[in-house]
A and B are shown apart, each in its own frame.
Chain A
Amino acid sequence: MSALRPALMHMSTPHGNTEAARRLATWLLCCLAITALLTFCSLIVGTSSIETSIGWILAPDAQSSVVLWQIRLPRTVGAWFAGALLGLAGAIAQGLFRNPLAEPYLLGTASGAALGVTLSLIAADASVEGLAWATKLGVTGAACVGAAGATLLTISLSRGVLQTRSLLLSGVVVAFLLGAITQLLLLTKPEIWRTMQTFLFGSTGFISWSSAALLGSVFCLCVVPAALLSRGLDALSLGEDTAQSLGLSLPMLRLTLLGVVSLATAAAVGQVGVVGFVGLIAPHLVRETLSVNHRQLLIAAPLCGGALLQAADLVSRWIISPAELPVGAVTACVGGSYLVFLLWRRSRNG
């Protein structure tokens, strides 16, 4: 046994390992630095006509300090958490389905959340009891119910969570179906259509401190089980049979992680609306620049997703200022182009 020890030391800390660890640390620090920079920029860029300069930040008057601390800061903090949640959900979904193009939208989760919000708005509009009910549930509650319902529908359509391919396929079917129902409902209610339009495009404009706090606490709630189960995702990358033969309980792993994906997506959709592609791009960007196992990925992808949504939020406010673009339009443009680039590169490489 003692003869083995030096070799084991070699195995746990050889050159390759320390260098990989250093790369990861550098990468995470860069991500945090970019986040800090974006947060600062978000504070001085806005659609209100008040002055935006560094001196103004240091000594704001009463009105500007309300804009600064009650509107811009919660907005950028909330955007970070929403992006982090989407990045986390995307990273888990890609590992769970062993498909690099999987993201919460492919499970029907996001469409379910949007339908939940639509139904709660229609109920609030229709009757007094409906209004009381919708107020009690809240937007996030309605989104959660919708997201969980859609995920359960997807699972029952694919007859369990055992088959990856049928699960993805039924996810797409559910997403289309629920999206169509949402659109039909909105056609019959033109007055809700206007409210829902910003929501369906995605907007970071309504984030208050309370919603930022909600996003933050859901993030903490999601990241712990995800990190604990990351080894299961590693095992799953070797194939479903191999993972099972290693002694993992695949149904338990899948159900828990699907629950985490649903909760993370529902919270993000409930607060910022339907913002696409962040969950797809964030894990991709991490894997492009680092070779990681799932524990590292589940830390890096949320950091990357948070910075991405902050950047998109900043662009949406700045590009046609003083007017404002829906942030979902920005992520769709950037994310769509990135997806086209990925597909182009894949076809070029044969």
Chain B
Amino acid sequence: MGEPLAELAAPPSGAPAAALSCDDLSVGYGSRIVLEGVSLDLKPGCWTAIVGPNGCGKSTLLRALAGLQPAHSGVIFLQGRRLQAWPRRERARRLAWLSQASAATDLTAAEVVALGRFAHSGWLAHRQADDDAAMHRAMTATGSLAWAQRRLSTLSGGERQRVHLARVLAVEAPVLLLDEPTTHLDPPHQEDVARLLRGQAHRCGVSVVSAIHDLSLALTADRVVVLGHRGVIGHGTIRDALAGDWLSAAFETRVNVVEHQGVHLWRPALEPITRD
């Protein structure tokens, strides 16, 4: 009693504050509930992979966390403040989202990446030196600088994906929500993206959350959120996930993961072909 409200809203001291968290979140389309009672705590400096079977709500969860999908119930906190309470542009500066479909437009790659700076530079697009620097860093990191002046419609799917990734990185937000950032990419470039995401988390202290289809790639993340058709199976480190066999529970079939020199690999259960 008598204490200011701001004190109550502040996160408890001690444990590092969550960059993004949700409590008892339920989302769906119309009357169809896709996810129910999801509570997550996404820490800064940590790369979290979301895995699960098709249609289990990975994209829906990311969209809800990005504030693009209204929640039926529950609350989302971004840096300790309710997501809906943030002014639009300030929120966009702190939270960047990559959609699953990478649009092909007539804009050049540089123009698309510059749109990532919208929350900083505003309507008149008056780019400052730090906007240019952020764009340059993002395009270098994703290897898309070479085609800065090419139209997106003339690029291949993988090249386009890297441009969109550069646009998300150019926001320089402390929270990145990425829906399948490795789609359309060849395996070496998938590895590059995984390395990039890990670097963003470990070196820049960003909280990275990405839905990833490739299980071996997802198991290189710091933590996993495993989703099944009936909600969250588990949220924890890779070791927790393997010890509890969350993947088998999520996919409702036996999922074999082998460890080879400290790396976890998904092994298909197909019998190897023995004849010549």
Contacts of A12 in B (CB 8 A): 132
Check B33 for interface membership: any CB of A closer than 8 A.
no
Q: Is B252 an interface residue (CB 8 A)?
A: no
Docked CA distance A287–B106 (Å): 9
Docked CA distance A229–B122 (Å): 10
B96 near A245 with CB under 8 A, answer yes
Interface membership of A292, Cβ < 8 A: yes
**Does A189 have its Cβ within 8 Å of any Cβ on chain B?**
no
Q: Which of A260-297 contact B (CB under 8 A)?
A: 287, 291-293
Q: Is A60 an interface residue (CB 8 A)?
A: no
Distance (Å) between the CB of A258 and the closest chain B CB?
Answer: 18
B-side contacts of A229, CB under 8 Å: 123
Q: Which of A1-9, A115-123, A316-324 contacts B (4 or more CB under 8 A)?
A: A1-9
- Pairwise interchain contact B92-A7, C-beta atoms closer than 8 A: no
| Contact call A235/B115, Cβ cutoff below 8 A | yes
**What does the 1/0 interface line of B52-69 toward A look like (CB < 8 Å)?**
000000000001001110
Chain B residues with CB below 8 A from A241, complex form: 63, 68, 97, 99
**Residue ID in chain A nearest B103 by CB atoms:** A238
Minimum C-beta distance from B147 to chain A (A): 9
- Chain B contacts for A7, CB-based, 8 A: 136, 140, 145
Question: Which residue from B88, B95, B103, B119 sits with its C-beta under 8 Å from A239?
Answer: B103
The stretch that binds A, out of B40-48, B148-156, B187-195, is B148-156
User: What are the residues of chain B within 8 A of A242 when measuring CB–CB?
Assistant: 97, 99, 103
Q: Which residues of B contact A156 (CB under 8 A)?
A: none
Given contacts A235-B115, A239-B103, contact A245 B136 (CB under 8 A): no
Contact residue among B68, B106, B133 (Cβ-Cβ distance under 8 Å from A4): B133
Whether B115 lies near A8 (C-beta < 8 A) is no
Residues from chain A with a CB closer than 8 A to the CB of B93 are 247
Residues from chain B with a CB closer than 8 A to the CB of A245 are: 66-68, 92, 95-97, 99
Min distance, Cβ A297 to any Cβ of chain B, angstroms = 9
CA A11 – CA B105 in complex, angstroms?
19
A residues near B110, Cβ cutoff 8 Å: 11
Tally chain B residues at the interface, Cβ within 8 Å.
44
Tell me the chain A residues, 221-243 only, with Cβ under 8 Å from chain B.
228-229, 231-232, 234-235, 237-239, 241-242
- Answer yes or no: A135 CB below 8 A from chain B CBs: no
A293 to B135 alpha-carbon distance, docked (Å): 18
In the complex, A245→B100 CA distance in Å?
A: 13
Chain A CB within 8 A of B196 CB: no
Min CB–CB distance A278 → chain B (angstroms): 21
Contacts of B118 in A (CB 8 A): 231, 235, 246-248
Contact A228 B136 (CB under 8 A): no
Say whether, besides A1-B129, A7-B136, A293-B106, A228 and B91 are in contact (CB < 8 Å). Answer: no
Q: A228-B124, A239-B99 are in contact. Are A293 and B107 (CB under 8 A)?
A: yes
Asked if A244 and B136 make an inter-chain contact with CB atoms under 8 angstroms apart, the answer reads no
Q: What is the predominant secondary structure among interface residues of chain A facing chain B?
A: helix
Considering the complex, give the chain B residue whose CB is closest to the CB of A14.
Answer: B149
CB contact list, A112-148 vs B, under 8 A: none
Interface centre among B99, B135, B137, B150 (most CB of A within 10 A): B99
Please state if B88 and A249 are interface contacts (CB–CB under 8 Å): yes
> Is A17 close to B, CB under 8 A?
yes
When chains A and B are docked, how far (Å) is the Cα of A244 from the Cα of B70?
13
Closest to A240 in B: B68
Asked if B116 is an interface residue, CB under 8 A from chain A, the answer is: yes
Give chain B interface residues in 149-187, CB to chain A under 8 Å: 149-151, 153, 164
Q: Which residues on B sit within 8 Å (CB–CB) of A1?
A: 129, 133
Q: Find out whether the CB atom of B136 lies under 8 angstroms from the CB atom of A246.
A: no
Question: Given A242-B97, A291-B106, do A247 and B123 touch, yes or no (CB 8 Å)?
Answer: no
Q: Of all chain B residues, which has the CB nearest A290?
A: B106
- Chain A residues positioned under 8 Å from B132 (CB to CB): 4, 8, 11-12
Measured between beta carbons, the chain B residues less than 8 angstroms from A180 are none
Cβ-closest chain A residue relative to B148: A11
A251 → B minimal CB distance (Å): 11
Within 8 A of B (CB), among A6-27: 7-8, 11-12, 14-17, 20
Flag if B149 contacts A20 (CB, 8 Å): yes
Q: Are B66 and A17 in contact (CB under 8 A)?
A: no
Within 8 A of A (CB), among B70-118: 88-89, 91-93, 95-97, 99, 101, 103, 105-108, 110-112, 115-116, 118
A97 to chain B, nearest CB (A): 15
B119 and A246 contacting across the interface, CB-CB below 8 Å? yes
Pick from A15, A16, A238, A247: contact of B91, CB below 8 A: A247
The 9 closest A-B pairs by CB, nearest first: A247-B92, A16-B149, A247-B119, A245-B97, A237-B105, A247-B89, A8-B132, A238-B103, A246-B118
Interchain residue pairs with CB less than 8 A apart (26): A4-B132, A4-B137, A7-B145, A8-B132, A8-B136, A16-B108, A228-B124, A231-B125, A234-B105, A234-B115, A237-B103, A239-B99, A239-B101, A242-B97, A242-B99, A245-B67, A246-B92, A246-B116, A246-B118, A247-B91, A247-B92, A247-B119, A249-B88, A287-B106, A291-B151, A293-B106
Interface of A with B (CB < 8 Å)? 1, 4, 7-8, 11-12, 14-17, 20, 228-229, 231-232, 234-235, 237-239, 241-242, 244-249, 287, 291-293
A16-B149, A231-B125, A234-B107 given; 14 more Cβ-contact pairs under 8 Å: A4-B132, A7-B140, A11-B110, A11-B139, A12-B132, A16-B150, A20-B149, A231-B115, A238-B112, A239-B101, A241-B63, A246-B116, A291-B106, A293-B108
